[in-house]
Structure 1
Amino acid sequence: VADFNGDGWSDVIASDASYNRVHVMLATGSETFAPAVIVDGPEANNGTVGVDIADLDGDGDIDAAFSTWYPAAINILHNDGAGNFTVVDTFTTGPEPRDVAIGDFDGDGRPDIAAACQHYLGPLTDGTVAIHRNLDDAGWEWTTSITMPDGVEPYTYRAVPQFVEWSDVNDDGHLDLLTSSDSSNVLAIHLGDGSGGFTLGQTLGGWWLESGGSDILLADLDGDGNQDLVWGDVDMSKFAVYRNNLGTFEFHQSFASGNYGPLMLAAADFTNDGLIDIATTNNASRTFSIAVNLDGLNFDAALQLRPVEFPEDPILADFTGDGLTDLLLTHAPYLAPGHTMSVYPGLGNAVFDTASLDTPLDSVTSGILHARDINHDGNMDVVNLYGQCLVHMGRGDGTFDEPITSSLVVYLRHVLADFNLDGELDIAWLEGGHPSQIAVSFGDGTGHFGPATRYTDVAEDESIGVGDITGDGAPEIFTGHRYGIFSIHPNLGDGTFGPRRDITITGSPFTPSINAIAVADFDSDGDNDVVASAFGLLLFANPGDGNLPAVPVGASPASASILTPADINLDGHMDLYGRGASAIIYLNPGNGIFKDPMYLTRYDSNARSMVVADADNDGRADVMIGPENSWSQYLFLNRPPVSHNDNHNSTLDECEAPCVGDLTGDFLVNFDDLNVILEGFSTEYDFNDLNLVLEHWNQICN
């Protein structure tokens, strides 16, 4: 984007991936363009991918260079000053060039060209960046080719350069070269010496199996005068932000873009707040996204988390005792035995340290993890269930003791609660069969759980929930089954359970399965109710004595396979996070009948896991989901509502007192309020109301 014809408007030049040509669109106003003019390059078998612009011939007009993928070439376009482009030179470059970047690497005042060459068609050697020096009237000299580094062990895949940029990253007055490669997934930074020599200074990435290195963006995001780095990754649908610390890039955070984005990156202050925001193009959805800069290096976008190669079972809690939420997960090395439990300490604002605190698990397998203080020592412990029953006692520093084993086989569908009211955590789970059984095991507070007591349940179990609906403090167990059967197991007060009550939910043409159960005070009357997912959400409103109605009421049309209660918007009413294709937000107005569900971004598959916790320690419950076909986790931060000042005074709208005469609530007294008076005159309003509007005409509320 640049002003090609000197009329003060920004024009556009775009590459064409199908044909060896570019499209030039001259602006006719601030948001309008003349029809695109096609400028053809030499006949070729493939289109152009990379294009960059600069005054290549020193005549004061912005020219362009674009790549031809095959046969490998770079084409020089001369601009006559009126926005008319002509191909004036074409020269050979390295095999299969993709991106091109223009910059004066040797300090002679003439812009040179770098081309990211993929070496794609064979022989399949490591990709290179070809450097072409501008010799002015003598043309272009291919001075050198820089081989890009392979991936990191054990994924030593060759580099396939995708994007290339020039920038003086270490502030020594010489341009440096940044290259993003696919396959190896390495971003290589070669430091320039100002005379044409380059030395590898830093590499980033290099070993994520599912990564796909894409575009590079350099911008001063935090306002410290240094160009920070943004690196796109289309396969993980994220961009990573690195802070420039005196020429060395330090990882800060990864943020989610749209599906299979960002293929391309751009930066500008889109919100006019003085901070640089980021725009991404999303390949799969053919969309673009704007990530709004919140405070320099943090953006209003979901966080993408994958600190190790094969992470499993993530949970969020304070394992180091500093009051900040940490990230814990287990992982196993590639094609090797053994698991490790790793804690990534929270640094605040949902930023996690890249260095982990590790506890080897040796032969212990990882199941479904829960963070609880089992022994009441103030340190967070980990309960490791599913096919086993292990407790890893926390030391308070992010590491754990050897696991305590109980001789229990805990199944997938389980809950934790104090069933016998002895102050210690117990476990209950569903064991499938015909019929199924509920197993209840009491904990002793030392990490040990005793033999299970079993109760007969209904066959074809699907879900389990827990909560006190009788008001005696002893939680009941609720189970959901196929064929619409919802079962209530009343706690007799001592952790034993009385006769089961079954409620059948009918449906047409199919009888639903009960896929998820949540217990909380959803109708704001002081006692716990039950919400079950079955072709939508159903509310069993508690009349106060625990005798739930036989016929529930519809609470939402959207189903979920996990339901977690939380006061999401801090209005005093219990809302729900749900797991479906992605995370679902059910906001409760206070009566248990939820508003229209809000769906968070889906990343190419159904959600595998869902974790609800206050990740950034702001008092709001956040949600983290893990897609089924990805090793990544996507953390959606629950941010406060955006403030508005629609009347442009010095006070935020939500802080302003009601304004006399303001009948529309827009903090202004104007024709909108007069129309309200006229439409409701003699029924709702009279002359007194009309006089109030006229007396305060054009008033701005303060």
Structure 2
Amino acid sequence: MSSSSLLVAQSTTNPASQYFFNKASFVTGSLPTGVALADVNADGRADVIVANQDDKSLSVLLGQTDGTLGPKNDIALEDYPFQLVTGDFNADGKIDVAVSQRSKVGMLLGKGDGTFEAEATYALPYGAGFLATSDVNKDGKPDLVAVGTCGSSCGFVSVLLGKGDGTFEVQPSFSPGGVPWAFTVCDLNKDGIPDLAFANSSSDSPNNYPPGFVSVVIGHGNGTFGNPTSYPSETNIAGIASGDVTGDGIPDIIVSHFVGNALALLKGNGDGTFQPESGLSSDTTLSSQFLQLVDLNRDGKLDLVMSSVFNGGAAILMGNGDGTFQSPQAYFTGSQPYSFTIGDINGDGNVDWIMPDWYGKYLAVLLGNGDGRFSPRTDLPLGDPQTYVFSAATGDFDGDGKSDVAVETQAGDLRVLPGKGNGTFKSPVVTQFNGGSTFHQLIAGDFNKDGRLDLLADGTTFLPGNGNGAFGTAVQVNSDFNIRSFAVGDFNGDGNPDVLDVGNGFFETQPIQLLLGNGDGTFQAAKRFWDLKYVPDEVAVGDFNKDGKLDIALSVNPNGVAIMLGDGTGGFAAPVIYPTDDLPNSITVADLNHDGLPDLIATGLKVDVFLGKGDGTFPNRVDYDPSSFPNQVGTGDFNGDGKLDLAVTGYGNGPGYLDILFGKGDGTFQSPVTFTSNGSGAVVVNDLNGDGIDDVLVAAGTGSLFLSSPIATVSPSILDFGTAVSGAAAPGKSITITNSGNGPLTIASVAATGPFTADSQCGSSLAASANCTIDVTFTPASLGAQSGSVLVTDSAPGGAQSVALSGTGAAGLTISAQTGGSTSATVASGSTASYALAVKASPGFGGTVTLTCGGAPTYAACNVSPSSVPLASGGSGTFSVSITTSQSIALTVRHDRFGAASGAGLLLSALLLPLFRRRSRALSALLGIAALSCLFCLSACGGGGGGSSSPGPTAHNVSPGTYNLTLTASSGSVTTTQSLTLVVR
């Protein structure tokens, strides 16, 4: 035995936050209990609020454009929370949160951006556990109803009447007549007033098997309620829900129990009274404290949703509309799912399921298909619901180029389901044969080299393929060997497929036998070997030392993996043992780290990964914790990232489990994401729907088929364009479509209704994890509120996604260029620019429109002709604008009325001045004479008036440049403007 180092990788609690097979998980606080779905930041996307009991906090997870949730933002609370409800409690249009906390109710008023005001609390004399909101006093303001947690004052009901401003008035508490485990609010007597119904017990401990009863209290419409009326129920009552499940328009009551009839019906009489309880199901795995009635598949019939907190799962029972339900669909969600909420989290129009896991510190989100299912899992169409699968193989058995599925059934036959290429199948082609009694396995291959796929069944039977999905007469390969597993490969290098069988080592002295193939579907006599004390069980093949010769790997008892290197002639070297964590159930070979070397995966109590060195050794082991006891393993790229992932089936309490461990590409893996299957069996991997992504088939029960599929997430789910001028386009908005699934999304069409247009940038296909946009325009056709939608028809579950559109058309005017014209003109400086324009009134508006122009540059003039235009309702008129870029300015020269004499006097003085400049006294005298001469002239001319002369106007041009002028159209209170561009060269 070779030495091996043991590296154990414990799985973390950090779950996958991307959707895979419709499921994703998101981190919360410790012990998450209550949960609600609401748009707390007003972005049109659903957000999630979680109450974390152990942390005394709320976690707010904001919705993202791809339908996932962002990281949590925590809000501290005064006490330990239990449940929460949302609503607009202060009428400001923003979402608020109310949360029950042992002895009080806390109110956090929303700011509309995802944050909240400081908590205000209301003390309750009997505490608060369960919480609901309704308008119990019919004043149009939301109220709260709280039921106390158990203890010395267990089970009293407190009503908090809302004042409409975010504050409440606590009313006197009352008893519902017992210890309530759950309650529901509904108008049970159809008088328009909310009533209450309680799942009551005579004890606060289910371990005592106390008697149960349903208590009904009728609302008075003023915030008070009548005395309780009780109806006997089975012991250990657990949960309650109300709604019309019988289709008569009268509310009924559904209750669950921890023992006895897990589900029971109390049919309503329509007056607030009910008929005696009748059992619906005795399956106690359906016991739950949390029930909801909702129409999941839009057929008008209420379906039952529940979280089964005692077996780590949840269930759906589709309603028949007559008070009965179909068989439950089970979903694995975590270690202990608690309360839940239902709503559309990714904007695709389908109802989704959101559940906190109490022990797991995370929130599980299951996306709905719109048909009542929350998983892409389907059962194989075997033709008989009582038929179940022993083993399966895939391949093109009918030669049409599409993958088919062959299954061996408990009926002792082989059924081939011809594939249609899209993940669906035609009616099965049945071939009778007598398979193995205890061991079942199918391997497909061309064993007789005729170009048609054959099958080896159970290591004992050869079925030659006919090429049409049917098979010829079965031929026994061997019948005296108790087979546990087998593998196929060319072990002697002759080009013919050989068979290696592993028998029961507790009964066979040499439990391994090799049958060399002849290439015609027959095999040579068996060669047996194995002499170790270890007992071999499962077998896998690969070239572990890269010598071109097939080697074998065996799981052995006690806990180990044996490697036997082949010599290329059908012989093998002595086995080398590598320890496993426990007795392996299976062994698989694949290149997990992309180094071109085969690696090993074995399942015991854990998933053991051995990375190969390429020399035939596997010295290091890494273990991964699955969600349950692992059984079989398959490998494939299930999310299309180019890295190998692991699909592990397992056993647990309830249905079978399928764990997907996403590979990191280096031989390590993320923590498992878990799904439910019809049982635990072999994993078959192939692309069965032709989208290029690996699919998973679990060969157990009726066969669980997990097909890669797209998930169309639309964001936002509502677009409001506000107010826009009727007849004119508002500023555009966009819608983002994200393919959150693991298969390509085919987009068939994008269409808008109403006064909206949609321009898709998405093309016809959207790859997994990709997104694209749709540009939406709103052009109001009339005045007032208007609505429409964008409908995206695609291949996602439900087939179509819709975005609600709204906007308001307002009276207005628009100015635009006439056909062939422009609002921009280029002219040479000094020239005139001309604009041919039109003004249009919105539909429903008309009148005389005054037109003005402003903002002209210096030396430019803007003229509008005509300056007013009469418009009928929705009518239009034309006008022109001319802008001159030159202005003529006259130069005015002024002169006085002194006449020639004054001019002559001044001239004489000027001429004489040089002659007397050296004689200052004479100069002074001369100046005096000149001044007297001027006064004389003025007196002679009759005073000091003035005159002018114009030598001719001077032209001034606008400087070169780009100018923006504003054109204004107005009629009464309605005004609009249009910019005109003037380019002067």
Please state which band the TM-score falls in when normalised by the shorter chain.
0.5 to 0.7
Where structure 2 has 5 or more consecutive residues not aligned to the other structure, the ranges are 1-85, 381-386, 426-433, 464-468, 471-476, 603-607, 652-657, 714-735, 740-757, 774-985
Tell me the equivalent position of 1:291.
Answer: 366
With over 3 angstroms needed to count, the CA separation of the structure-2 counterparts of 1:115 and 1:553, relative to structure 1, is same
Deviation at 1:275, TM superposition (A): 2.1
Tell me the equivalent position of 1:57.
Answer: 137
Give, in whole Å, the separation in 2 of the partners of 1:434 and 1:23.
Answer: 71
Give, in whole Å, the separation in 2 of the partners of 1:603 and 1:91.
Answer: 44
1:129-174, Cα deviation, whole Å (9 max, x unpaired)? 11111245694333532333xxxxxxxxx54333322222344332
Tell me the equivalent position of 1:10.
Answer: 95
Deviation at 1:117, TM superposition (A): 1.1
Deviation at 1:28, TM superposition (A): 3.0
With over 3 angstroms needed to count, the CA separation of the structure-2 counterparts of 1:380 and 1:596, relative to structure 1, is same
1:293-338, Cα deviation, whole Å (9 max, x unpaired)? 2344333588999xxxxx99975679xx9x99799999xxxxxxxx
Tell me the equivalent position of 2:80.
Answer: none
Superposition map of 1:500-519 within 5 A: 500=573, 517-519=587-589
Q: 1:539 aligns with which of 612, 615, 621?
A: 612
Give, in whole Å, the separation in 1 of the partners of 2:635 and 2:621.
Answer: 14
Give, in whole Å, the separation in 2 of the partners of 1:346 and 1:178.
Answer: 43
Tell me the equivalent position of 1:456.
Answer: 530
Tell me the equivalent position of 2:124.
Answer: 41
| 1:132–1:144 contact (8 Å) kept in structure 2 | yes
| 2:141–2:164 contact (8 Å) kept in structure 1 | yes
For the pair shown, which has the larger CA radius of gyration, 1 or 2? Answer: 2
Tell me the equivalent position of 1:26.
Answer: 109
2:185 maps to a residue whose letter is I
Tell me the equivalent position of 1:334.
Answer: none
With over 3 angstroms needed to count, the CA separation of the structure-2 counterparts of 1:340 and 1:279, relative to structure 1, is farther
1:98-156, Cα deviation, whole Å (9 max, x unpaired)? 212111111222211101113335974442211111245694333532333xxxxxxxx
1:355-378, Cα deviation, whole Å (9 max, x unpaired)? xxxxxx9xx9985543568999x9
Tell me the equivalent position of 1:96.
Answer: 179
With over 3 angstroms needed to count, the CA separation of the structure-2 counterparts of 1:295 and 1:424, relative to structure 1, is farther
1:452-494, Cα deviation, whole Å (9 max, x unpaired)? 75313555467753336599999653336778863224563xx
| 1:430–1:439 contact (8 Å) kept in structure 2 | no
Deviation at 1:280, TM superposition (A): 0.9
Tell me the equivalent position of 1:487.
Answer: 564
Q: 2:304 aligns with which of 226, 229, 238?
A: 229
3-state DSSP of counterpart to 1:90? coil
Q: Output the TM-score relative to the length of structure 1.
A: 0.63
Q: Which has the higher contact order (CA 8 A, sep 6+)?
A: 2
- Tell which deviates more after alignment, 246-255 or 284-293: 246-255
1:226-278, Cα deviation, whole Å (9 max, x unpaired)? 443322212333332343444554347333323211x1121222112222222
Q: 1:77 aligns with which of 160, 163, 168?
A: 160
Give, in whole Å, the separation in 2 of the partners of 1:613 and 1:42.
Answer: 60
Tell me the equivalent position of 1:467.
Answer: 541
1:611 to 2:683 alignment = yes
Deviation at 1:632, TM superposition (A): 14
2:634 maps to a residue whose letter is T
Superposition map of 1:187-586 within 5 A: 187-199=263-275, 204-208=280-284, 210-247=285-322, 248-251=324-327, 253-261=329-337, 263-300=338-375, 369-371=440-442, 408-410=481-483, 414-417=485-488, 427-429=501-503, 431=505, 438-439=512-513, 453-460=527-534, 464-467=538-541, 469=543, 477-479=552-554, 486-490=563-567, 492=569, 497-500=570-573, 517-519=587-589, 530-533=598-601, 536-539=609-612, 541=614, 549-550=615-616, 563-566=633-636, 568=638, 577=647, 583=659, 585=661
With over 3 angstroms needed to count, the CA separation of the structure-2 counterparts of 1:204 and 1:500, relative to structure 1, is farther
Tell me the equivalent position of 2:847.
Answer: none
Give, in whole Å, the separation in 2 of the partners of 1:636 and 1:565.
Answer: 14
Where structure 1 has 5 or more consecutive residues not aligned to the other structure, the ranges are 149-157, 306-310, 331-338, 353-360, 398-403, 542-548, 658-664, 669-702
3-state DSSP of counterpart to 2:238? strand
Tell me the equivalent position of 2:959.
Answer: none
With over 3 angstroms needed to count, the CA separation of the structure-2 counterparts of 1:475 and 1:175, relative to structure 1, is same
With over 3 angstroms needed to count, the CA separation of the structure-2 counterparts of 1:468 and 1:268, relative to structure 1, is closer
Give, in whole Å, the separation in 1 of the partners of 2:228 and 2:155.
Answer: 16
Tell me the equivalent position of 1:601.
Answer: 673
Q: 2:193 aligns with which of 103, 110, 117?
A: 110
3-state DSSP of counterpart to 2:293? strand
Deviation at 1:653, TM superposition (A): 8.5
| 1:97–1:115 contact (8 Å) kept in structure 2 | yes
Deviation at 1:196, TM superposition (A): 2.5
3-state DSSP of counterpart to 1:417? strand
Give, in whole Å, the separation in 2 of the partners of 1:106 and 1:468.
Answer: 71
Give, in whole Å, the separation in 1 of the partners of 2:379 and 2:256.
Answer: 19
| 2:634–2:685 contact (8 Å) kept in structure 1 | no
With over 3 angstroms needed to count, the CA separation of the structure-2 counterparts of 1:476 and 1:258, relative to structure 1, is same
2:162 maps to a residue whose letter is N
Which has a greater percent of strand?
Answer: 2
Q: Output the TM-score relative to the length of structure 2.
A: 0.47
Give, in whole Å, the separation in 2 of the partners of 1:315 and 1:465.
Answer: 16
3-state DSSP of counterpart to 1:4? coil
Give, in whole Å, the separation in 2 of the partners of 1:462 and 1:90.
Answer: 70
| 1:72–1:97 contact (8 Å) kept in structure 2 | yes
Tell me the equivalent position of 1:695.
Answer: none
Give, in whole Å, the separation in 2 of the partners of 1:258 and 1:312.
Answer: 27
| 2:664–2:670 contact (8 Å) kept in structure 1 | no
1:174-206, Cα deviation, whole Å (9 max, x unpaired)? 222122333346233333221133247975542
Give, in whole Å, the separation in 1 of the partners of 2:560 and 2:155.
Answer: 64
Q: Percent identity?
A: 20
Give, in whole Å, the separation in 2 of the partners of 1:346 and 1:9.
Answer: 55
| 2:138–2:222 contact (8 Å) kept in structure 1 | no
2:178 maps to a residue whose letter is P
1:564 maps to a residue whose letter is G
Give, in whole Å, the separation in 2 of the partners of 1:38 and 1:633.
Answer: 53
Give, in whole Å, the separation in 1 of the partners of 2:406 and 2:562.
Answer: 39
With over 3 angstroms needed to count, the CA separation of the structure-2 counterparts of 1:233 and 1:415, relative to structure 1, is same
Deviation at 1:27, TM superposition (A): 2.0
Tell me the equivalent position of 1:140.
Answer: 225
| 1:54–1:62 contact (8 Å) kept in structure 2 | yes
- Tell which deviates more after alignment, 569-578 or 73-82: 569-578
Give, in whole Å, the separation in 2 of the partners of 1:523 and 1:138.
Answer: 66
RMSD: 6.2
1:647-681, Cα deviation, whole Å (9 max, x unpaired)? 99734489699xxxxxxx9999xxxxxxxxxxxxx
| 1:220–1:228 contact (8 Å) kept in structure 2 | yes
| 1:613–1:623 contact (8 Å) kept in structure 2 | yes
Deviation at 1:49, TM superposition (A): 3.0
With over 3 angstroms needed to count, the CA separation of the structure-2 counterparts of 1:635 and 1:501, relative to structure 1, is same
| 2:647–2:683 contact (8 Å) kept in structure 1 | no
1:530 maps to a residue whose letter is P
